[in-house]
Amino acid sequence: MTRHYNFCAGPAALPTAVLERAREEMLDYHGRGLSVMEMSHRSPEFVAIAEQAEADLRELLAIPENYKVLFLQGGASLQFSMVPMNLLGQGGTANFLYTGIWGKKALAEAKQLGFAVHMAGSSEASGHTEVPTQAELALSSDAAYLHYTANETIGGLEFDYIPDVSVPLVCDYSSSILAEPLDVSRFGVIYAGAQKNIGPAGLTLVLVRDDLLDQRCQRIPSLFDYQAVAEAGSMVNTPPTYAWYLAGLVFQWLKHDIGGLEAMATINARKAAKLYAAIDSSGLYSNPIALRNRSRMNVPFVLADERLDKPFLAEAEEAGLLNLKGHRSVGGMRASLYNAVPEAAVDTLIDFMADFEQRRG
């Protein structure tokens, strides 16, 4: 068995220790004679797994008691529908910051569902290389909430501040949640697809402040209703039990193997700083993002001569450095440095890039 270094943007690398534990428990969880996958979601064994996962997440993010934690399905993209349906029942306009592809999709979804939308800020003029500043935000007078994307996975553009606004803040944290400590109390709703820093695809986390639970539209699918889901402990119907269990293992890994989110943030900062330094000091590689908004999780870069893209990717893969190809919509390269990507992976990538530049640059 070999484990290569995996820079995939998502579904992304998981900690090897987590996969080893899952492998060990695959056919027989703690001597119970069955797999976690085969347990009723209402069994004492699974309920204990689910509760432990929530408790660990609450501890890691220091989630205040007045926030519900929901374990859902459908990915962040389903939240593009669920958020307006849950928050616009009393009217008002959904405000959006547009800093890349995901933020744009969130706005488009609210609009096509018939909700009023307003663009309260955009990085479009800069070619999405710099996020609007606090001073540049312009909310509509009837704003019900402000939605933004903390980190644009494809563009590699990350907010360097939490917007300070008078309406509930809703944030898509899919690609940077758990990368560092977070002041949850600044937000009305935080959501994140699991497949970057949480666990496998097929699980979505939603944190929602409890005073926002009664703002929903009248006719929404039962499974969309944050309040009903919260009251049922995320078990209105059968939840994605195995993904929930794996997320729990990741939370345990963050707590015990890493030592919490402060420690994780230090490692992540070091990983990103190293790679950006290598890019900036090279003659072959470049990244266009304003320094203050460079993503620590997703590092896109281009080669000065795009004819070198193919050999770069082929040789990288040969060297056990997987999934460095940029998103099909933008091309170039992208190295995703999520929590589970070890520092050694970044070191190896940097060495490879230097060697490639020397030989081919």
Catalytic one of 56, 68, 102, 325: 102
- Smallest distance, Å, CB 88 to a second copy? 13
Detail the residues annotated as belonging to a binding site for pyridoxal 5'-phosphate.
76-77, 102, 153, 172, 195, 237-238
Nearer Cβ to a second copy, position 173 or 276? Answer: 173
Q: Is 172 a catalytic residue?
A: yes
Nearer Cβ to a second copy, position 44 or 283? Answer: 44
Nearer Cβ to a second copy, position 165 or 322? Answer: 322
- Smallest distance, Å, CB 124 to a second copy? 22
Nearer Cβ to a second copy, position 27 or 269? Answer: 27
- Smallest distance, Å, CB 295 to a second copy? 18
Detail the residues annotated as belonging to a binding site.
42, 76-77, 102, 153, 172, 195, 237-238
* HSE-CB for 241 with a 13 A CA cutoff: 17
Q: Is 102 a catalytic residue?
A: yes
- Where does this chain bind a second copy (CB under 8 A)? 1-4, 6, 8-14, 16, 19-20, 22-23, 26-28, 31-35, 37-43, 73-78, 80-81, 109, 112-114, 193, 195, 200-203, 219, 221-224, 236-243, 246, 320, 322-323, 328
**What is the amino acid identity at position 83?**
V
- Smallest distance, Å, CB 232 to a second copy? 11
Nearer Cβ to a second copy, position 115 or 301? Answer: 115
Catalytic one of 196, 225, 271, 325: 196
Which 3-state string (H, E, C) describes the chain?
Answer: CCCCEECCCCCCCCCHHHHHHHHHHCCCHHHCCCCHHHCCCCCHHHHHHHHHHHHHHHHHHCCCCCEEEEEECCHHHHHHHHHHHHHCCCCCEEEEEECCHHHHHHHHHHHHCCCCEEEEEECHHHCCCCCCCHHHCCCCCCEEEEEEECEECCCCEECCCCCCCCCCEEEECCCCCCCCCCCHHHCCEEEEECCCCCCCCCCEEEEEEHHHCCCCCCCCCHHHCHHHHHHCCCCCCCCCHHHHHHHHHHHHHHHHHHCCHHHHHHHHHHHHHHHHHHHHCCCCEECCCCHHHECCCEEEEEECCHHHHHHHHHHHHHCCEECCECCCCCCCEEEECCCCCCHHHHHHHHHHHHHHHHHHC
Q: How far is 342 from 162, CA to CA, in rounded Å?
A: 27
Catalytic one of 56, 68, 172, 271: 172
Between strands 117-122 and 93-98, the pairing is parallel
Q: Is 196 a catalytic residue?
A: yes
Q: How far is 302 from 305, CA to CA, in rounded Å?
A: 8
Detail the residues annotated as belonging to a binding site for L-glutamate.
42
- Smallest distance, Å, CB 70 to a second copy? 14
Nearer Cβ to a second copy, position 241 or 295? Answer: 241
- Smallest distance, Å, CB 313 to a second copy? 13
Catalytic (active-site) positions: 102, 172, 196
